[in-house]
Amino acid sequence: MSNFFKNIILGGSALLLAACGSNDDVLKIGAMAGEEEQVAEIAAEVAKQQFGLQVEIVAFSDYVTPNEALNDGSIDLNAFQHRPYLDAQVEARGYDIVAVANTFVYPIAAYSQKLDSLEALEAGSKVALPNDPSNLGRSLVLLEQQGLLVLKPEAGINATTRDIVENPLNLEILELEAAQLPRSLNDVAFAVINNSFAGMSGLTLEEHGLFVESKESPYVNLIVARSNNQQDERVQQFIEAYQSEPVYQKAYELFQGNIVKGW
């Protein structure tokens, strides 16, 4: 046999082996390395047990690459972002990706060492909020939802203290660096603290929370797909697996209770 025909046969065999070695049935999910990756691993286990679905978790260490990878088809879904971030990425980069389900709210909440309930809040009390634009607006919306403030209707999550139109208790609002908020609790009636700094300071919703974002928060985290695969049966199966009790229990354990179901 000539070398020419040998090369054709060998090349065809290599292609066949490569095709057999690939697995298009594996659903690839992007998640942030660490606790969120561990939560997604439990969802993958549930998906395998309930649906026989093969899921591979792809861990990322930054917040830009997971959407790039989803948009170019390197992964099939990701689960790491809330809608304001998704909307900003789609607008800035033209991604053809869409939210298909909610996961968890990693919430901001009001914590207090002085109050057992919001009813005990006195007129003129000092309250501390994070001073960065994203979390300040988020905190002001939370206070409005509790009936403590009224904001200009158009302010939304971009609100600042200049957008307050009613402050019935005449609360004195202090804007502090997020890292300083846990240390301010001795000096204020309550402080609104994001999930990361609350956890690092040993604050939990169950023991120290005064009020917290609900699952209707615009900052609920999402499972995101491409427009062209959002109706895939495997996507729907993974959503069901993620929105399950074992996943919630693992997330509750990893985040020390500082989570809210988004579904």
Quick check: 150 pLDDT over 80?
yes
Averaged pLDDT for residues 17-27: 57
Least confident of 20-34, 53-67, 123-137, 167-181: 20-34
Comparing 4 with 88, the larger pLDDT belongs to 88
Averaged pLDDT for residues 31-47: 97
Structure confidence at residue 23 (pLDDT): 54
Averaged pLDDT for residues 151-163: 96
Least confident of 28-32, 57-61, 132-136: 132-136
Average pLDDT over the chain reads: 91
Query: What is the 3 state secondary structure string of the chain?
Result: CCHHHHHHHHHHHHHHHHHHHCCCCCEEEEEECCHHHHHHHHHHHHHHHHHCCCEEEEEECCCCHHHHHHHCCCCCEEEEEEHHHHHHHHHHHCCCEEEEEECEECCCEEECCCCCCHHHCCCCCEEEEECCHHHHHHHHHHHHHCCCCEECCCCHHHCCHHHEEECCCCCEEEEECHHHCHHHHHCCCEEEECHHHHHHCCCCHHHHEEEECCCCCCCCEEEEEECCCCCCHHHHHHHHHHCCHHHHHHHHHHCCCCCEECC
Averaged pLDDT for residues 110-125: 96
Averaged pLDDT for residues 96-110: 97
Structure confidence at residue 199 (pLDDT): 87
Structure confidence at residue 37 (pLDDT): 98
Structure confidence at residue 25 (pLDDT): 85
